[in-house]
Structure 1
Amino acid sequence: MYTIGTHMSIAKGLAKTAENVVAMEANTMQIFSRNPRGSTYKEYTDQEIDKFQKIRREHGFGPLLAHAPYTMNLASEKEKVYEFACMVIREDVARMDALEIENMVFHPGSHTGIGTEAGIRNIIAGLDQAITGNESITVLLETMSGKGTEIGTRFEELRAIRDGVRHPERIGICLDTCHVFAAGYDIVHDLDGVIREFDRVLGLKHLRAVHLNDSLEDFGSHKDRHAVIGGGKIGLEALLRVMKHPALSGLPFYLETPLDDAGHRQEIQMLKQQLCE
């Protein structure tokens, strides 16, 4: 059985969100660890958390994924920006770990002119101050499209981060299909080659999640614009090959496509039907 979910709003609470996952006939979900465009987060009562945990276990949810806010830039040289990023990653790793969420993903960051190597050093230092090594949660580096001065466009950059941290055993990878396609990894015509390259550089054992997104932009465009499944330049057939590939099929897949809950429910049902054919 495939593990498929989507990004869910938790505005109505954790338990209600879990109920929506069940209604959507999904079996996992991704949530933001806090306000994606700000710094605030909601505190949950013990009763709310207990109800959330009960629903996810009774319905056999696969690994859950928390996404750090977009405002966090661990690669920045600007003191206030970097201090904020360090605070967010430190607090949210602890908060999501306490909720027993298995994985937390973040965009590695943009070096904004100081260079990739200096940006990677900042990311490593930020992770080291956040991760004790005693957590159960795994922090995932996301593959990026390469817009501007983003770090994580090449697998080697993610390898350098993981190799540099104090607790690499707590660091994994999240592969975003839109991002790698835009970055120049040809998952449409050479999926096997991309997977071999990923394994050679990063190791498939460290791949913990897949963001399943189509791309509005062309191959190698370095532009991050998600499309609904089958509505972009990657296409339904290629994305189904990603899901069915023996190296990837056992991973959780999270949709980040531009749809509401009803649209995502239909998208998930379509994928399930296609995967059974």
Structure 2
Amino acid sequence: MRFGCHLSIKNGFLGAAKQAYEMGAGAFQYFSKNPRSLGVKEFQLEDATLCKQFCEEKDILSVIHSPYPTTLTPKTNKKREAVLASLHNDLVIADACGSIGVVVHFGKQLEPEKPLQSYQLMIEILNEVLVGWDGQAKILLENTGGLPGTIGTTLDELAQVRNLCQEQEKIGFCFDTCHAFASSLWDGDNWQEVMERGNELAYFDHLEVIHLNNSKYATGTGKDRHAPIFNQGYILETQFNDILTTPQLRDIPFILETPKEEVPHEKEIAMLQEKW
């Protein structure tokens, strides 16, 4: 199994990769720039290249998380242009660092009375970003943690948006366990059903990363609040075991986004490695 966590790039991309290695992690996630801004970052290519070489040498996988303001359903043309520029910038950085791709949250619903509008806009944005993109890094759509029935909470939605894009081979998926639990996509006891539906949709054929997070709230509440994996959340070890012992996921990196103030990530990674 390959476990990792989210790391800072305050010491550069190579610095983050070295920190992952020193922690005994097999993967890491990072913001390529200010997580609260959609500004385009001028980055040091040498640093990115050294990061890529180091990760290849040490067999470490990495992935970028897009900044918080990123949305696939921008409400204004100004926001749309900023999102497009930022996502392209993230893809360029991911490619230079040898990262799998860029995790992007599924879009939000624009108007409840016009449900198709949001999906159509997402497809437009993805097409604009990816048509002409010739790098190896992918856009990785992440399931949302809203209330059951809200947008982005089903594998069907994620798979269908990908299927309807012009450049679907440049799109993969990120599965967040806390989001799935919050939305009741995965209620802790129905993993076999999730796998069966995901395989029918070919969702798991394009799954590239898993965010491994416990939940501070019960399933179906729609509350996205992460908790440490062991003994501090509503998801039980036996329920995590269903996911972590799935042979089909053996080569997928599991990235912690748990509160490191409660359990240091280095300790949590060691516990995961011992358990699984």
Aligned residue for 2:14, secondary structure, equals: helix
Please list every run of 5 or more consecutive structure 1 residues that lacks an aligned counterpart in the other structure. Answer: none
Q: How does 1:190-269 map to 2 (within 5 A)?
A: 190-230=190-230, 231-259=232-260, 263-269=264-270
* Identity value in percent: 29
1:124 positional shift: 0.9
Q: Is the CA contact (8 Å cut-off) linking 2:30 and 2:65 kept in structure 1?
A: yes
Q: Is the CA contact (8 Å cut-off) linking 2:143 and 2:153 kept in structure 1?
A: yes
Q: Is the CA contact (8 Å cut-off) linking 1:35 and 1:41 kept in structure 2?
A: no
Aligned pair partner of 2:92 in 94, 104, 116: 94
Q: Is the CA contact (8 Å cut-off) linking 2:228 and 2:262 kept in structure 1?
A: no
2:169 aligns with: 169
1:207-246 Cα deviation digits (max 9, x unpaired): 1111100011111111111111122111222213311111
Q: Is the CA contact (8 Å cut-off) linking 1:109 and 1:150 kept in structure 2?
A: no
Say if 2:256 is the partner of 1:273.
Answer: no
Task: Indicate how the Cα distance of structure 1 residues 21 and 39 shifts in structure 2: closer, same or farther if over 3 A, else same.
Answer: same
1:22 aligns with: 21
- The alignment's TM-score, normalised by the length of structure 1, stands at 0.91
1:263 positional shift: 0.3
In the alignment, the residues of structure 1 paired with residue 149 and residue 68 of structure 2 have an alpha-carbon distance, to the nearest angstrom, of 15
The letter of the residue matching 1:216 is: K
Q: How does 1:25-174 map to 2 (within 5 A)?
A: 25-40=24-39, 42-61=41-60, 63-113=61-111, 115-131=114-130, 132-146=132-146, 151-174=151-174
1:94-132 Cα deviation digits (max 9, x unpaired): 332233212211002212326431111111111111112
- The alignment's TM-score, normalised by the length of structure 2, stands at 0.91
In the alignment, the residues of structure 1 paired with residue 147 and residue 268 of structure 2 have an alpha-carbon distance, to the nearest angstrom, of 28
In the alignment, the residues of structure 1 paired with residue 143 and residue 66 of structure 2 have an alpha-carbon distance, to the nearest angstrom, of 14
Q: Is the CA contact (8 Å cut-off) linking 1:24 and 1:261 kept in structure 2?
A: no
Aligned residue for 2:11, secondary structure, equals: coil
In the alignment, the residues of structure 1 paired with residue 224 and residue 187 of structure 2 have an alpha-carbon distance, to the nearest angstrom, of 16
1:54-101 Cα deviation digits (max 9, x unpaired): 32122111x311111110112133332222222222222233223321
In the alignment, the residues of structure 2 paired with residue 13 and residue 148 of structure 1 have an alpha-carbon distance, to the nearest angstrom, of 39
Aligned-pair Cα RMSD in Å: 2.2
The alignment of Structure 1 onto Structure 2 pairs a total of residues equal to 273
The letter of the residue matching 1:101 is: S
Please list every run of 5 or more consecutive structure 2 residues that lacks an aligned counterpart in the other structure. Answer: none
